[in-house]
Amino acid sequence: MPKIELSRVKGDFGFEAKDENGHVVRMDSSPESGGWDFGVRPMQMLLMGLAGCSAIDVITILKKQRQEIKDYKMVVNGEREAGKEPSLWKDINIEFHLYGHIDEDKAVKAVELSINKYCSVAATLDKAGADIKWRVFVHSA
């Protein structure tokens, strides 16, 4: 079972979370909420997890299909519910930018499989009610 240890290291809300392999992530609240801008907001980290999870899926699928991926970028934007506690992610928009010799139809199918079938973070956010929309852009090498 994965284990995470969290320690307060700066001000009231500046934390470092460490996994069992020693990887560290910094988190904090916004300065308006009493934080120091020491690290990523926890809710933004969910979007980062979504991007990382889906990227691993998409690249794995495309490599199995012998697509040549020279570079890969994603842009993720999210909007949270207004006036609610907890304020969950309501709308998430993802742009997948793939660079290389990549068949566009295969890229679209890989993203569809990731978001709708393989990515555990996407499934978690979907079950929490987030509407995840995505677009794929294939750029020549």
Q: Tell me, letter by letter, the H, E, C secondary structure of 35-66.
A: CCCCCECHHHHHHHHHHHHHHHHHHHHHHHCC
Q: How many domains does the chain have?
A: 2
Residue 24 and residue 61 share a domain: no
pLDDT tens-digit readout, 3-54 = 999 999 999 999 999 999 999 999 999 999 999 999 999 999 999 999 999 9
Kindly report the pTM of this predicted structure: 0.94
Decide if pLDDT at 141 tops 80.
no
Residue 72 and residue 10 share a domain: no
Question: Domain containing 46: what range?
Answer: 42-139
Residue 63 and residue 99 share a domain: yes
